[in-house]
Structure 1
């Protein structure tokens, strides 16, 4: 699942080049697992650098309460008061933000823009990650902020890549790979998916109606046209599996985790009218379909045959169509990346989008866990005959 080079965008400007390497000197993708990374800014009067480390991997901080939610900055090599310092520190802290850390700690004396507070541990100071990054972004000049915003889409994609690893290991996907998915567990996934897919065109229409940004409105309109009648594909899949389609259409209530995923996108477009954050839900759903879908489709077909259905393609029309349409260089997900590159233009917008992204990803993963875990009584015993 890890794609170290897929979203790593070497960032340069007329003045600076960013270099990010592990302690062996090898390049490290933004979506890499938490580990010590040396971040360097080449240009200006000299090369400056700092190392960012997960707090639990650092002897001086491993015993801190909440170390697993904290990152450490150490080995700062920069002139105190250097105008490029805020730029360097912000780029270094993008990694803890991808790791979903919530605090930063350091014994370095020259981190003034972050306004760290002393801890009881001797020599250590700390700050919440969100406010530290806000202060660093504000301290950069216009050229520095432009360099940082050019990294925002790569950061969001790296967050999704790490979430995709978690999604690929949910209970439903594990059951598929093990050949132990029950028909009822697959029907539950399709039925719950129908609960929000049937509203997607209406949500997009709502977004179009409140959008004053013409290029964004054009993107939403293209997406609207591409989402027509996808609920009919789910209904056809359900009918082939002899499920109760009338219940799904007229009486079913989405399960709690599914409702959480639905509520996020509904609130962003209908209450907040925040169209950048509204895009977080399709960014997640389409991104996970493009990444994880190809890994499970063959195994899913084998499960369906095991249930006695000889034509698995007639039960997977919806999933196959989304793997095809959402993936690839010209897929829905890549089109969303292009739009986000224009919308994510400051730290507050980025932090808000990433919060929505993680909430959507966690709800989406929890929903698939539920489709398996709520119906484990239908799972065949390990020693049962095929």
Structure 2
């Protein structure tokens, strides 16, 4: 009998993700999202039974086996009736790839929309809201293109959203079903058009639904990956060296020392009391944090003078600094500035006590007495940034009040993606730039 595999404790504080969530998407409708596409969704069954509900211009999917994506049902809040349904999938490994035979590499930026149903009695705007609700998940995955298998003629959806045929993919002639083409459009154009259509139909999207994409983006593009970065892997495996930790503190100091000055600009640029109060509170929590780093270095036996007066940021650190500096110094937009701390504090806001135990054990193994006196900065940011009342959650909560449109959201997401990309590479660089100290002979 094989013994069960015991999973080691994680450095990270994680909350279980519910399989199914219900989110308010318009004043009258909810979006019910299932994060694992079902072969026979319960909400789809009564809708599919309605004559004319399945959009005939879309080719029905043959199989969802092995596909990754989400099911989205649009439900009338008052009656509980399912008005529309669709599934969005990673194009690679989906029926779209099986039918088009396109290589996986060509599909890594593509999402496939299928199983589209709209009730014949659904109010105007239902399809637009449905398309937005499904395709915004594709954007949170980092996808840039939406793909479809549509009837080989000028269908309403193709015409409305400017879908164009993939000329290198042969037409699909299916006996008894018809002729179909692989068609596609850029996600940014489709989401913009769907948002505009929904508003014109009297179904504007709720800001809370818009901002939920921020968390989905951070989770998929950042929180699910940062634990695999070189620094946290080295801490977890007990291989981080003293030289690498000193380099980490050196690079952290490069941007932390400017935090209060940038937050001060945000206070001055905030247009209302609530936003100004938020940044004042955040600023108070960051005062002199660079001095904590300097004390950590001193306890390690390092002279912090070089770090304070001579050292320069490495490439990913400078890229991260540029995002926050441009947001408030060039665009003068304190809300846009929130993209940077969401990325930076997304790390410390999700670390647990096990991380501190392991980093302190490592520091002690280097012969440092009272190792916790050399890890004050990392420990203090777990306290400041974590929890429901920490900086990270506070920034996320605030966004729902200021990102009110798809256009505003898109601008924020663009800077957020730059920020999280830079922060991921920062935590890699803290070890990879000075990997020689942990290298072993072959």
TM-score between both structures, scaled by the size of structure 2: 0.79
Native 8 Å contact 1:277 1:353 kept in 2: yes
Which of 268, 273, 294 is 1:214 aligned to?
273
Native 8 Å contact 1:18 1:39 kept in 2: yes
Native 8 Å contact 2:20 2:33 kept in 1: no
Native 8 Å contact 1:51 1:92 kept in 2: yes
1:75 aligns with 2:115: yes
1:49 aligns with 2:85: yes
Alpha-carbon distance in structure 2 between the residues aligned to 1:78 and 1:350: 27
Alpha-carbon distance in structure 1 between the residues aligned to 2:350 and 2:397: 18
- Pick which of 9-18 and 91-100 moved more: 9-18
Alpha-carbon distance in structure 1 between the residues aligned to 2:354 and 2:129: 39
SS in 1 for 2:92: helix
1:299 aligns with 2:358: yes
Native 8 Å contact 1:78 1:85 kept in 2: yes
Alpha-carbon distance in structure 2 between the residues aligned to 1:364 and 1:334: 18
Unaligned residue ranges in structure 2 (runs of 5+)? 1-13, 43-65, 172-180
1:96 aligns with 2:155: no
Alpha-carbon distance in structure 2 between the residues aligned to 1:193 and 1:6: 37
Native 8 Å contact 2:84 2:117 kept in 1: yes
Native 8 Å contact 2:128 2:198 kept in 1: yes
Aligned-residue offset at 1:6 = 11
Native 8 Å contact 1:113 1:136 kept in 2: no
Unaligned residue ranges in structure 1 (runs of 5+)? 28-32
- Pick which of 72-81 and 281-290 moved more: 72-81
1:140 aligns with 2:198: yes
Alpha-carbon distance in structure 2 between the residues aligned to 1:326 and 1:199: 17
Alpha-carbon distance in structure 1 between the residues aligned to 2:410 and 2:25: 23
- Change in Cα spacing, 1:159 to 1:182, as seen in structure 2 (3 Å) is same
Runs of 4+ in 1 over 6 A off after TM superposition: none
Q: Within 5 A, what are the aligned runs for 1:311-350?
A: 311-350=370-409
Aligned-residue offset at 1:377 = 1.3
Which of 5, 29, 35 is 1:16 aligned to?
29
What corresponds to 1:129 in structure 2?
187
Native 8 Å contact 1:2 1:161 kept in 2: no
What corresponds to 1:114 in structure 2?
161
- Change in Cα spacing, 1:322 to 1:97, as seen in structure 2 (3 Å) is same
What corresponds to 2:50 in structure 1?
none
SS in 1 for 2:112: strand
Alpha-carbon distance in structure 2 between the residues aligned to 1:231 and 1:164: 25
- Change in Cα spacing, 1:237 to 1:13, as seen in structure 2 (3 Å) is same
Aligned residues: 377
TM-score between both structures, scaled by the size of structure 1: 0.90
Alpha-carbon distance in structure 2 between the residues aligned to 1:295 and 1:217: 35
1:4 aligns with 2:17: yes
SS in 1 for 2:96: coil
Alpha-carbon distance in structure 1 between the residues aligned to 2:429 and 2:30: 45
Alpha-carbon distance in structure 2 between the residues aligned to 1:190 and 1:34: 42
What corresponds to 2:215 in structure 1?
157
Q: Within 5 A, what are the aligned runs for 1:262-273?
A: 262-273=321-332
What corresponds to 1:58 in structure 2?
94
Native 8 Å contact 2:21 2:32 kept in 1: no
Q: Encode CA deviations 1:38-88: one digit per residue, 9 max, x unaligned.
A: 211012875211110111021333615620100011111115895211001
Alpha-carbon distance in structure 2 between the residues aligned to 1:232 and 1:273: 28
Alpha-carbon distance in structure 2 between the residues aligned to 1:59 and 1:7: 23
- Pick which of 304-313 and 128-137 moved more: 304-313
Aligned-residue offset at 1:26 = 8.3
- Pick which of 111-120 and 199-208 moved more: 111-120
- Change in Cα spacing, 1:325 to 1:342, as seen in structure 2 (3 Å) is same
SS in 2 for 1:124: strand
Native 8 Å contact 1:344 1:350 kept in 2: yes
Alpha-carbon distance in structure 2 between the residues aligned to 1:203 and 1:86: 40
Higher helix share: 1
Native 8 Å contact 1:89 1:136 kept in 2: yes
